[in-house]
């Protein structure tokens, strides 16, 4: 009879402590399959045949040896995201920033130049400006909404990597990704698109030529405010590079988070459809509110990016992020508004099933001086909303009463 270590480890001849550790573990492959992918918490994997294990350690991507190299629960999530984004593959990370960071380092080397849009998520901006600059990597900034200036900057700097976001925060301007991708292709540069604000239900940057599509899964993909994670959807060749980097920097997604995100993504189309519908209804109500000044939402005809949004997103919606100004509001008035909210949660982050409101002057743009902020349209009177899946009427009623109390 073949040697069976499981039986041997748990035999009654063994001590109680040994049996407590080993009994019930490593059962043979079952005849059944669970209807959902299990969470595989094991950090290591065993093989009956040591030669197969040798192949796994040599890099056979279909096998697992150690969770920092790959994990079956994480693989399941990566498969569904690649499928939805229309890429060959994807790779999970411990956070959106780990995904951004690793995607950047996989595309540059010493002396590289990066061209990035001015309107970037604060920590991505800091990564480029403060972190990579100290390693001899130069980042040049230009407003990607100005395509002529972007083309000129590409000609001038010959960047190795181009970095942008699909919808800018907090003014909700829509980047013309197909046009930027054409410029990147002509310049032989890698294009990294942070698509956190536009899950693949709405837009798929890889279809238009992005090489690296990054998401903070903390937001729409997981969707319930209970996961921190990131993902990069990309080609097999780039995934291999990213995987090698992740192996070294250890920025991998844990299996519990992967499982929660896998569960979350199943309802992404339903959630996001409702969020987009709600956002349009809320934006229209805000526009009609005499106490509200500007409403930034690409679904509104007056928004500067309305035509681009229509072209990129078709009839799938305009996203679920809005920002608006409360007329003549001071910082104190906006604090009053946040404190008066009864349904909407005054918290940072976005993309959750519940509606969130954030104050850019206090949060994302806190370190930017008021004059600089005002120049780009982010004054003390600007508030951001991430619209959830609640009843639109309840969201609107809460906003109306809180806006009323802002300046009361």
Q: Which residues bind ligand PLP (CB under 6 A)?
A: 95-97, 100, 121, 165, 194, 196, 216, 218, 228, 230
The least CB distance from residue 358 to ligand PLP, in Å, is: 10
Q: With respect to ligand PLP, which residue has the nearer C-beta, 123 or 310? A: 123
> What is the phi/psi pair of residue 309, to 5°?
-60, -45
> What is the phi/psi pair of residue 169, to 5°?
-115, 130
Closest CA to 140 of 182, 150, 165, 99: 150
Q: With respect to ligand PLP, which residue has the nearer C-beta, 289 or 357? A: 357
The least CB distance from residue 121 to ligand PLP, in Å, is: 4
The least CB distance from residue 223 to ligand PLP, in Å, is: 13
Q: With respect to ligand PLP, which residue has the nearer C-beta, 176 or 398? A: 176
The least CB distance from residue 125 to ligand PLP, in Å, is: 10
Closest CA to 192 of 201, 174, 203, 180: 180
The least CB distance from residue 15 to ligand PLP, in Å, is: 46
Q: With respect to ligand PLP, which residue has the nearer C-beta, 37 or 228? A: 228
Pairing, β 382-386 against β 356-358: antiparallel
Contact 316, 328 (CB under 8 A): no
Rounded to the nearest 10 degrees, the angle between the axes of helix 392-406 and helix 331-340 is 140
Q: With respect to ligand PLP, which residue has the nearer C-beta, 73 or 228? A: 228
The least CB distance from residue 289 to ligand PLP, in Å, is: 26
The least CB distance from residue 93 to ligand PLP, in Å, is: 9
The least CB distance from residue 14 to ligand PLP, in Å, is: 45
Both tokens of residue 182? 């054409």
Pairing, β 382-386 against β 113-117: unpaired
**Helix/strand/coil for 381:** coil
Contact 232, 213 (CB under 8 A): yes
Both tokens of residue 138? 């130069």
Q: With respect to ligand PLP, which residue has the nearer C-beta, 159 or 170? A: 170
Ordered DSSP codes for 234-302: E-HHHHHHHHHHHHHH--BPPHHHHHHHHHHHTTHHHHHHHHHHHHHHHHHHHHT-TTEEEEE-TTSTT
Residue whose Cβ sits closest to ligand PLP: 96
Q: Count the helix, strand and coil residues of the chain and give each as a percent rounded to the nearest 5.
A: 40, 15, 45
Q: With respect to ligand PLP, which residue has the nearer C-beta, 222 or 392? A: 222
The least CB distance from residue 362 to ligand PLP, in Å, is: 15
The single-letter DSSP state of residue 346 is -
Contact 345, 354 (CB under 8 A): yes
C-alpha 196/C-alpha 171 separation (Å) is 15
Q: With respect to ligand PLP, which residue has the nearer C-beta, 97 or 114? A: 97
Q: With respect to ligand PLP, which residue has the nearer C-beta, 198 or 289? A: 198
């Amino acid at each position: 009879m073949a040697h069976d270590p499981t039986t041997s480890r748990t035999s009654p001849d063994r001590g109680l402590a040994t049996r407590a550790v080993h009994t019930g573990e490593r059962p043979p492959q079952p005849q059944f399959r669970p209807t959902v992918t299990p969470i595989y918490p094991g950090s290591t994997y065993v093989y009956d045949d040591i030669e197969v294990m040798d192949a796994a350690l040599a890099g056979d991507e279909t096998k697992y040896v150690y969770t920092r190299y790959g994990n079956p629960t994480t693989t399941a999530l990566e498969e569904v995201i690649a499928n939805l984004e229309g890429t060959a593959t994807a790779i999970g990370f411990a956070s959106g920033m780990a995904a951004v960071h690793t995607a950047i380092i996989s595309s540059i080397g010493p002396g590289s130049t990066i061209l990035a849009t001015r309107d970037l998520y604060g920590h991505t901006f800091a990564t480029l400006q403060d972190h990579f600059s100290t390693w001899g990597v130069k980042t040049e900034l230009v407003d990607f909404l100005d395509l002529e200036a972007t083309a000129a900057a590409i000609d001038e700097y010959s960047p190795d990597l181009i970095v942008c976001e699909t919808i800018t925060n907090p003014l909700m301007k829509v980047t013309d990704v197909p046009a930027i991708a054409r410029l990147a292709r002509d310049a032989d540069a890698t294009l990294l698109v942070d698509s956190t604000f536009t899950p693949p239900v709405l837009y798929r940057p890889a279809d238009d030529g992005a090489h690296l599509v990054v998401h903070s899964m903390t937001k729409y993909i997981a969707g319930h405010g209970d996961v921190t994670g990131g993902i990069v959807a990309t080609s097999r060749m780039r995934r291999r590079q990213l995987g090698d980097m992740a192996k070294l920097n250890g920025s991998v997604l844990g299996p519990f988070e992967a499982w929660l995100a896998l569960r979350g993504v199943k309802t992404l189309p339903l959630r996001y459809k409702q969020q987009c519908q709600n956002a349009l209804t809320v934006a229209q109500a805000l526009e009609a509110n005499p106490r509200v000044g500007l409403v930034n939402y690409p679904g509104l005809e007056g928004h500067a990016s309305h035509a681009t949004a229509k072209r990129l997103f078709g009839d799938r919606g305009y996203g679920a992020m809005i920002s608006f100004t409360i007329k003549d509001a001071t910082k104190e008035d906006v604090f009053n508004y946040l404190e008066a909210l009864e349904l909407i949660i005054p918290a940072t982050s976005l993309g959750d099933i519940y509606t969130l409101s954030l104050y850019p002057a206090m949060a994302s743009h806190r370190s930017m001086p008021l004059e600089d902020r005002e120049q780009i349209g982010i004054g003390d009177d600007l508030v951001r909303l991430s619209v959830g899946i609640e009843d639109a009427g309840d969201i609107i009623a809460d906003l109306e009463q809180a806006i009323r109390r802002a300046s009361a």
